[in-house]
Amino acid sequence: MLLSKSEFEKNLKNKNLRLAFIGMSNVGKSFRARQLVNKKKFLKKSIDKEISRKLKIKNEKEMAKWLGHPWEPQFETNQKKYLDAENTLTKNMNFPKNNNFVLDTTGSVIYLESETLKFLKENFLIIYLKVPSNLRKNLINLFFNKPKPLIWGNIFKKKPEKSYNESIRECYPKLLNFREKKYETLADITLEVDMKDSLILENFWEDIKKFLIK
């Protein structure tokens, strides 16, 4: 739902502005959402946390263990359970009244049903936080140093001559390429990020406005 600058400001003033951040894990979606809560009085919904509650899994570490890796026997079944929960929670969410609202999506939002994605497009200004190519290595290292739950779809393929760990490192950049195209298609605005938590919110806010319709 790409807005004009006047619509953006009007919705913000009337407490009817709805933003959704999309992108890979570790790009700063949750950080930016928290900034909007703390500094601009937005209300926030974290789909990650909602999924954990629905599946009765305590935290991100336990979720990663529950989901597992693509070669583990529980992965296919639990990947489907995760996406089913995410799809249900996303398409059935209730918007707060008289409050600006930010949705902190999961990295797997692009795998949701077409009707759910349509719902997001019609109700949110969707902002894709994209890691520039020169920082991709940092993102990859961050994932392997501190793994998070990750939906792979059909991207992971093990080569006979490689170990599982070698194969997953080889497939991760392919996953980034696949998702990048999907995120860009879903998004109204694409903003490159430098993954530094010290970035000032107002600079980020002004960057969003640059992409609004005049």
Supply the CATH number for residue 154's domain.
3.40.50.300
Residue 8: its pLDDT value, please?
Answer: 97
DSSP 93: P
Q: Which domain holds residue 109?
A: 5-210
Query: Which residues of 85-213 form beta strands (DSSP E)?
Result: 101-104, 125-130, 189-192
Number of domains in the chain: 1
Q: In this predicted structure, what is the pLDDT of residue 142?
A: 85
Proportion of the chain in helix, strand, coil states, percent, rounded to 5: 55, 10, 35
The whole-number pLDDT of residue 10 equals 97
Residues 28, 197 contacting (CB under 8 angstroms): yes
Residue of 80, 56, 59 whose CA lies nearest to 154: 80
Using alpha carbons, select from 54, 64, 75 the residue that is nearest to residue 107: 64
Predicted local distance difference test score (pLDDT) of residue 214: 83
pLDDT in 10s for each residue of the chain, 214 residues: 999 999 999 999 999 999 999 999 889 999 999 999 999 999 999 999 999 999 999 999 999 999 999 999 999 999 999 999 999 999 999 999 899 999 999 999 999 999 999 999 999 999 999 988 888 888 888 888 887 899 999 999 999 999 999 999 999 999 999 999 999 999 999 999 875 545 789 889 999 999 999 8
Q: In this structure, which amino acid lies at residue 210?
A: K
CA distances from 190 to 113, 187, 202 (A): 22, 7, 17
Nearest in space to 116 (alpha carbons), one of 96, 89, 94: 89
